[in-house]
Amino acid sequence: MGILDGKVAIVTGAGRGIGRGEAMLLAAEGAKVVVNDLGADVTGAGGDKSPAQKSVDDIIANGGEAIINADDISSWQGAKNVIDEAISTWGKLDIVVNNAGILRDKMSFNIDESDWDDVIRVHLKGHFAMARHAAAYWRERSKAGEEVKAAIVNTSSESGIYGNPGQANYSAAKAGIASLTWVMARELQRYGVRVNAIAPRARTRMTENLFGSFSDPGEGKFDAYDPLNVAPMVAFLASDLASDISGQIFVVYGGEITVMQGFTPAGELKKDARWTPSELAEHKAELFANHPSVLPGMPGF
Ligand SMILES: NC(=O)c1ccc[n+]([C@@H]2O[C@H](COP(=O)([O-])OP(=O)(O)OC[C@H]3O[C@@H](n4cnc5c(N)ncnc54)[C@H](O)[C@@H]3O)[C@@H](O)[C@H]2O)c1
């Protein structure tokens, strides 16, 4: 018995890295899984079905059920094809894990138009396109009188939450995904759909330069950067055991789960009249009194 018995799930970008671990665990917990991955390189170029096929083969070898899908989730029709394939294969859809992504890291002053467009397209549009087509399906089921118990798990990033230099395109997309999570959680609650996001930290080809060198935990020790550490939280959020959790963002890393709180007021100035610029300058210390600094020599933002 698994916590996802009887569920039908899609995991995008499930040919490798974090998505592969998610697809494997969802299947081990009983879900039938569409393993979507077009097999691009880390910048989004090329296509190779073999990583996705390997995930499917490994799920089946472990006694699970899975099919491969190689559509591009960043195209409106590609995303619809993935949703349609799950429904036409297994008769329904319960879970969408939006995970597929690419990187084009550059400082803002060096970013080309295509670096901007492609990263926003794959992450932000890709997440939305999948969620949009799934939402239309669930809303229709709900209006037809079915009790829908569905879940979307998005993939944001600490880069988006905090703002990482060298990743203007990626951080903006990931912050957009956090906001999208809140909007869709509010919109879809009445139809039985929960929407949460994770901000993972793990060693994959995307981050091997960051986490690779200090990731070896030594013989028999817990590897905090193993991408498989991310999957349990995603399986839990996808399951009915999390039926009272929606609109949340979790940093997931090693054995640590942190629930984040969105934008919250950190200080205010108030009077029953319009401020002048000079008055604002006089009162700035009051405004930032309880706000930690992010940039050296500057109050927080
Ligand atoms: N690794 C980390 O520490 C980390 C941190 C924060 C966020 N993330 C996010 O986690 C997700 C997974 O990243 P990863 O580290 O496993 O990277 P990865 O490169 O190992 O895997 C990403 C997968 O997405 C697939 N993909 C790319 N574009 C696609 C498209 N248009 N359609 C379908 N598939 C597509 C790729 O082929 C690849 O297999 C990404 O959204 C990434 O931004 C990762």
Q: Please measure the distance between the N-terminal and C-terminal CA atoms of the chain and give it in whole angstroms.
A: 48
pLDDT value at residue 98: 99
Q: Has residue 271 got a pLDDT over 70? A: yes
Residue 117 has pLDDT above 70, yes or no: yes
Closest CA to 123 of 180, 85, 68, 84: 180
State the chain's mean pLDDT as an integer: 95
> Residue 44: CB within 6 Å of ligand 1?
yes
Residue among 55, 63, 68 at smallest CA distance from 16: 55
Sequence ranges of the domains in the chain: 8-259, 265-301
Q: Is 157 a catalytic residue?
A: yes
Whether 125 is catalytic: no
The answer to whether residue 296 scores a pLDDT higher than 90 is no
Are 154 and 177 in contact, with CB atoms under 8 Å apart? yes
Tell me the best of 12, 18, 211 to mutate to test the pocket of ligand 1, counting ligand atoms within 8 Å of each CB and taking the most.
18
Phi-psi region of 192 (alpha: psi -120 to 50; beta: other; left: phi over 0): left
Task: Using a cut of 0.85, tell me whether the model's pTM lies above it.
Answer: yes
Residue 215, pLDDT > 90, answer no
- Residue of 55, 85, 99 with the most ligand 1 atoms within 8 Å of its CB, for mutation: 99
Percentage, residues of the chain above pLDDT 90? 88
Residue 219: its pLDDT value, please?
A: 75
Q: Which of 157, 159, 239, 246 is catalytic?
A: 157
DSSP string across 109-120: GG--HHHHHHHI
pLDDT(214) > 50: no
The yes/no answer on whether domain 8-259 falls in CATH 3.30.420.40 is no
Give residue 216's pLDDT band: very low, low, confident or very high (50, 70, 90): low
Position 252 pLDDT exceeds 70: yes
- Whether 98 and 152 have beta carbons less than 8 Å apart is answered as yes
- CB-based contacts of 174, cutoff 8 Å, min separation 6: 123, 156, 157, 159, 160, 161, 199
DSSP track, 71-114: --TTSHHHHHHHHHHHHHHHS---EEE--------B-GGG--HH
Q: Is residue 230 within 8 Å of 200, Cβ to Cβ?
A: yes
pLDDT for 299: 60
Per residue in 6-33, pLDDT (tens digit) is 999 999 999 999 999 999 999 999 999 9
Q: Residue 1's pLDDT is what?
A: 86
Q: Is the CB of 122 under 6 A from ligand 1?
A: yes
Measured CA to CA, the distance from residue 299 to residue 297 in angstroms comes to: 7
Q: How far apart are CA 301 and CA 186, in angstroms?
A: 26
| 99-193-170 Cα angle (round to 5) | 25
Which position has the token pair 């205010």?
Answer: 268
Amino acid 208: pLDDT: 80
